[in-house]
Amino acid sequence: MPNTVPPAVSHPKISARDVNVFYGATHAIKNVSMDIPNRSVTAFIGPSGCGKSTFLRCINRMNDTVAIARVTGRIELEGENIYDRRVDPVQLRARVGMVFQKPNPFPKSIYDNVAYGPRIHGLASTRAELDAVVERSLKLAALWNEVKDRLKEPGTGLSGGQQQRLCIARAIATSPDVLLMDEPCSALDPIATAQIDDLIQQLAEDYCVVIVTHSMSQARRVSSRTAYFHLGTMVEYGETEQIFINPTEKLTENYVSGRIG
């Protein structure tokens, strides 16, 4: 099965070479190499169980939390090997924020959800600074106008789409370099999905955004680059329009055309 390195990205934000992931004896990710640019949206697509979420979780070392997981190869964030022993995974996850499939606000107030990261990482020394971080993050997540008068209310009281935007605000409150999103709209209705899509494109003006999605239409709407995964292998990676209109691999063509999935 092909697994080519796509044309190089000049000054990539993330660079992966020969990444493999094993869960015990299961070889979940096989020799994945790719460069991911800054200030853009890169989408990972493919059938369920193809490895796209597993590879996404390599980028902030979430697989470290799985006892039987083993990762080999090299992933660099701005030239630094994130799997170097000297790299603190907790500090890495402040630089590489993550939004999960289902909205998961903490059982805290809207304010404390967003303030949590800056507090534990010491990013604000005064209440005024923390207030400013919370406001900025909620504005970036397009949620400020909806919640500014009820910041003391629980985050769990928001609608599903608002909860997901709150989780995005929480993720960007630590001023990350990268924002990872693992199927962030799969639990949302079409209106909330459209709001998140718009937000993803706005965030890409300032962040490197990587999104896993089961929705090919979403990948095509929001991303500039797309990688197609199949059975743990990255089959093809390139400009999104090329992947959907003129893929070079038959497996990719069969998937984007709906013949397999």
Q: What is the pLDDT of residues 67-93, one digit of tens each?
A: 999 999 999 999 999 999 999 999 999
Instruction: Name residue, tokens 């500090």.
Output: 91
Q: At what angle do helices 127-140 and 160-172 cross, to 10 degrees?
A: 130
Residues 94-106: what's their mean pLDDT?
94
| pLDDT the model gives residue 11 | 83
Q: What is the pLDDT of residues 178-231, one digit of tens each?
A: 999 999 999 899 999 999 999 999 999 999 999 999 999 999 999 999 999 999
Helix spans in the chain (H): 52-58, 89-95, 110-120, 127-140, 144-147, 160-172, 190-203, 216-222, 240-245, 250-256
Q: What percent of the chain has pLDDT over 90?
A: 92
| pLDDT the model gives residue 7 | 53
Confidence of residue 59 (pLDDT cuts 50, 70, 90): very high
Q: How far apart are CA 176 and CA 178, in angstroms?
A: 5
Task: Give me 169's structure tokens.
Answer: 């605000």
33 Cβ neighbours under 8 A, 6+ residues apart: 3, 5, 16, 17, 18, 19, 234
- How distant is the alpha carbon of residue 198 from its chain centre? 15
Task: Give me 151's structure tokens.
Answer: 């910041």
Residues 142-164: what's their mean pLDDT?
97
Mean pLDDT is lowest, of 3-17, 114-128, 200-214, for 3-17
| pLDDT the model gives residue 261 | 58
| pLDDT the model gives residue 78 | 95
Sequence letter at residue 110: I
| pLDDT the model gives residue 110 | 98
Confidence of residue 2 (pLDDT cuts 50, 70, 90): very low
Report whether pLDDT(154) > 50.
yes
Sequence letter at residue 217: S
Instruction: Name residue, tokens 């030239």.
Output: 79
Looking at every residue in the chain, the average pLDDT score rounds to 94
Confidence of residue 8 (pLDDT cuts 50, 70, 90): low
Confidence of residue 3 (pLDDT cuts 50, 70, 90): very low
Instruction: Name residue, tokens 């743990």.
Output: 232
Cβ atoms 203, 171 nearer than 8 A: no
